């Protein structure tokens, strides 16, 4: 199955995107399709053996829209074009020129009625034809500037897929044609001496309505385009992080090259203040890296030899050489950009509902407009009155607000999440997250740090440093997982290790070695008993430490106990606070672990989750998720994305915690770049904020149409004399779209409580 991104030209409302989705989605071989109105693109998954890219393009073009294959940034090797900013500039030019002609037209048409000062040549019944022809000449440029509405509108109407442009085109054209009809009537009146006819039609030209509709719609489109350009800020900022050049060392020579020329394995030099060009590993030197743009963490992170570094992060201080491990589209930054882009292109189920409504909305509105005009004619009202009603209904009911309600909120929300180190892979995950009532946490690497550290050093007759030095000397000969944290602790204290030799592993008990020529032991209580070392009161201390989830290691020399060193996978500093925040959201928190019950219970006491299940295999975790779902719970699984993959895939929302590793990105719906459990309640809070915003948008979009259409149709006119003119209808329609986008933009200021 192949997945391709297409650029679409000519879409103006959700009726357009809905039509394309419906028609292309029905084609044989098309598995999945998602059309994004905001970004004017379309993701299609299809079987190459059944349908080709050109077949899909041809089908879109047959519907009256333009389609082409999207050029990736890597293909063009240039700064990506900001289509939203480009669209805003085009709309700005159209608005300026439309306004230049519309303002004098409006002044001329309303001047006599409002008693505004006008040149004599436009005043009086004798100059009615001059006035009318001047208005006609001022209207034609505005219609030419807004010709896109007519071309797309009538083309879609002809293809039986009417959209917003169709409503505008019909309304504006009807007003313009009626204006020409009125000029002919004025000319006829002058020719036949019927001054009453001249007087009547000189006040019913409607050219200003035709032009004002187009100008006000263009104004709304300009404001909409300006708002849309802000919604893509997150992606733009991420793209701008990527440096253009890198300093490479090849064959002993240093030189600056384009970042596109960097290949895997290259040795790169990163100086203080420079941006890391690609992903890699430090092989020499050190630096303090600002990873805020990738993880959202504001404090620089110290990086040393063998540490991984991410492209796009900034070296605040220090100097290091690194080996490139991932370049181009394989870097973490490129994957983040792709993830955010894909998330903003996908649709939440609530968006699909709005699209379906929009798909049938436009033809229904056209029928309402015709029906309303026909009723007023049947009631004996004039043609111009009925025409004004029909045009107002068409213009006020444009479903722009409905189509923008969901995608704008999703785009701003996912962008805001990315800025906080929360990557949302699909809009459906964003919607599902706000229903979550149960969060399941993996222990290792999620609640805990994921790597053992020395927690306690309890010496007997010697100092802490002496005990740690001897322990590290013995353990440096071992490959046991618990040896590494002891050696690391000794290095951190800059301790000199005495020479050790004659190492011997004692399976299930520990090891022995000669340190400074003295026989030394490291291991458990069983080993101490075997070598006749009296542990005395240290036995109860050891039991208490084990009860706290720590692993005690005894060290002895020449038959004498030197002390205990405990090693444990410690709880992350923020885990308890994160769990408390989840519980505050009325979410039940369960920890699943493959570790023993004693350790699991110790972690439970420290962080206070609701339930703990220990000694589980990966399939047991998946089974637990399924059981909770069968009980009616909405479950989020939080894990490292490796051995938790079955549970992550089964959960309603899979959340990977772990600095964006490949497996985490593949297996989860949401990726937390900071490896901080506090981002889980943040992600859920963001989901709730986005969904509330979408519901507000949809409410106002539906409410606006529910009130606007009947008023435009004239239901208030018989009793209250209230009737909307086409100009007011156009202004109201534009305001509704702008208000929906503006409301969505409030999410840019979202912060987690």
Start-end of H helices in 194-331: 195-202, 207-231, 233-241, 292-295
The 10 Å CB-count burial string (b at 16+, else e) for 400-425 is: bbbbbbbbbbbbbbbbbbbbbbbbbb
* Distance between CA atoms of residues 423 and 466, nearest Å: 47
Beta-strand relationship, 588-592 and 611-613: parallel
Give the dihedral sign, CA 217/218/221/226: negative
Cβ atoms of 286 and 300 closer than 8 Å: no
Give, rounded to a whole angstrom, the gap between the first and last alpha carbons of the chain.
Answer: 42
* Distance between CA atoms of residues 446 and 241, nearest Å: 28
* Distance between CA atoms of residues 588 and 580, nearest Å: 10
Distances (CA, A) of 417 to 234, 343, 733: 9, 11, 31
**How many CA atoms does the CB half-sphere of 26 hold within 13 Å?**
7
In 525-569, DSSP assigns E strands to 551-557, 560-568
Catalytic status, residue 341: no
Place of tokens 């002993």: 252
* Distance between CA atoms of residues 751 and 753, nearest Å: 6
Phi, psi of 556 (to 5 degrees): -140, 155
Q: How far is CA 449 from the centre of its chain?
A: 28
* Distance between CA atoms of residues 506 and 527, nearest Å: 8
Tally Cβ neighbours within 10 Å of residue 540. 10
* Distance between CA atoms of residues 403 and 587, nearest Å: 33
Start-end of H helices in 51-158: 53-62, 73-76, 83-114, 128-145, 147-158
Structure tokens at 57: 């393009």
SS3 537: coil
Catalytic residue of the set 165, 279, 355, 442: 442
Q: Is 690 exposed, middle or buried (0-12, 13-18, 19+ CB in 10 A)?
A: buried
Structure tokens at 508: 């299930």
Per-residue 3-state assignment (H helix, E strand, C coil) for 149-216: HHHHHHHHHHCCCCCHHHHHHHHHHHHHHHHHHHHHHHHHHHHHCCHHHHHHHHCCCCHHHHHHHHHH
**Helix, strand and coil percent figures for the chain, each rounded to 5:** 55, 20, 25
Residue 750: CB partners within 8 Å, gap ≥ 6?
A: 413, 416, 686, 689
* Distance between CA atoms of residues 287 and 241, nearest Å: 18
Q: Among all residues, which ones are annotated catalytic?
A: 442
């Amino acid at each position: 199955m192949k997945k391709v991104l297409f650029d679409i030209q000519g879409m103006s409302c959700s009726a357009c995107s809905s039509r394309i989705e419906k028609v292309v989605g029905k084609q044989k071989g098309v598995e999945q399709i998602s059309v994004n109105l905001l970004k004017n693109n379309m993701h299609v998954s299809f079987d190459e053996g059944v349908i080709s890219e050109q077949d899909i393009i041809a089908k879109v073009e047959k519907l009256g829209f333009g389609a082409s294959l999207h050029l990736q940034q890597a293909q063009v090797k240039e700064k990506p074009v900001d289509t939203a900013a480009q669209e805003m500039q085009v709309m700005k030019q159209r608005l300026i020129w439309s306004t230049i002609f519309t303002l004098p037209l409006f002044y001329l048409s309303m001047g006599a009625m409002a008693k505004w000062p006008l040149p004599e040549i436009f005043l009086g019944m004798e100059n009615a034809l001059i006035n009318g022809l001047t208005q006609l000449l001022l209207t034609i440029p505005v219609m030419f500037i807004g010709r896109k509405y007519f071309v797309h509108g009538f083309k879609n109407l002809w293809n039986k897929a009417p959209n917003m442009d169709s409503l505008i085109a019909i309304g504006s054209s009807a007003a313009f044609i009626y204006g020409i009809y009125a000029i002919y009537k004025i000319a006829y009146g002058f020719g036949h001496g019927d001054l009453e006819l001249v007087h009547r039609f000189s006040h019913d030209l409607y050219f200003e309505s035709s032009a004002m509709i187009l100008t006000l719609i263009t104004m709304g489109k300009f404001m909409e385009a300006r708002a849309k350009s802000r919604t893509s800020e997150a992606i733009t900022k991420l793209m701008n992080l990527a440096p253009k050049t890198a300093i490479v060392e090849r064959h002993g020579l240093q030189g600056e090259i384009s970042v596109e020329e960097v290949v895997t394995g290259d040795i790169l030099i990163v100086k203080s203040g420079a941006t890391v060009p690609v992903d890699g590993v430090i092989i020499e030197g050190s630096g303090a890296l600002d990873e805020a743009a990738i993880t959202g963490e504001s404090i620089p992170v110290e990086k040393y030899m063998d540490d991984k570094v991410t492209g796009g992060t900034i070296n605040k201080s220090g100097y290091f050489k690194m080996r490139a491990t991932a370049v181009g589209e394989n870097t973490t930054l490129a994957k983040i950009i792709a993830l955010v882009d894909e998330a903003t292109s996908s649709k939440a189920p609530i968006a699909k509902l709005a699209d379906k409504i929009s798909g049938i909305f436009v033809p229904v509105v056209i029928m309402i407009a015709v029906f309303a005009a026909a009723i007023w004619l049947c009631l004996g009202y004039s043609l111009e009155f009925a025409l004004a009603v029909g045009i107002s209904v068409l213009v006020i009911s444009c479903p722009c607000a409905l189509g923008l309600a969901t995608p704008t909120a999703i785009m701003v929300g996912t962008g805001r999440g990315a800025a906080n180190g929360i990557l949302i892979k699909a809009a459906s995950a964003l919607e599902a997250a706000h229903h979550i009532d149960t969060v399941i946490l993996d222990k290792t690497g999620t609640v805990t740090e994921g790597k053992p550290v020395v927690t306690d050093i309890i010496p007997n007759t010697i100092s802490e440093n002496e005990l740690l030095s001897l322990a590290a000397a013995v353990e440096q000969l071992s490959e046991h997982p618990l040896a590494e944290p002891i050696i690391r602790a000794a290095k951190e204290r800059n301790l000199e290790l005495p020479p050790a030799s004659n190492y011997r592993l004692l399976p299930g008990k520990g090891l022995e070695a000669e340190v400074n020529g003295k026989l030394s032991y490291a291991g458990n209580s069983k080993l101490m008993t075997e070598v006749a070392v009296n542990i005395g009161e240290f036995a109860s201390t050891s039991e208490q430490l084990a009860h706290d989830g720590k692993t005690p290691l005894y060290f002895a020399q020449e038959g004498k106990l030197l002390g205990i060193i405990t090693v444990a996978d410690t709880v992350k500093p923020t885990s308890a606070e994160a769990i408390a925040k989840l519980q505050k959201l009325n979410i039940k928190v369960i920890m699943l672990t493959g570790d023993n019950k004693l350790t699991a219970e110790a972690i439970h006491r420290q962080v206070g989750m609701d339930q703990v299940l220990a000694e589980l295999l990966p399939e047991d975790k998946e089974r637990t998720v399924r059981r909770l779902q069968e009980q009616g719970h909405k479950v989020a699984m939080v894990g490292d994305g490796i051995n938790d993959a079955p549970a992550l895939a089964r959960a309603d929302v899979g959340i990977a915690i772990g600095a964006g590793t490949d497996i985490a990105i593949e297996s989860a719906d949401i990726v937390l770049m900071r490896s901080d459990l506090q981002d889980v309640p943040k992600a859920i809070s963001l989901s709730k904020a986005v969904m509330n915003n979408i519901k507000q948008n949809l409410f106002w979009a539906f409410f606006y149409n529910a009130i606007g259409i009947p008023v435009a149709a004239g239901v208030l006119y018989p009793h209250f004399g209230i009737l909307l003119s086409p100009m007011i209808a156009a202004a109201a329609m534009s305001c509704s779209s702008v208000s929906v986008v503006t409301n969505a933009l409030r999410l840019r200021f979202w912060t987690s409580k």
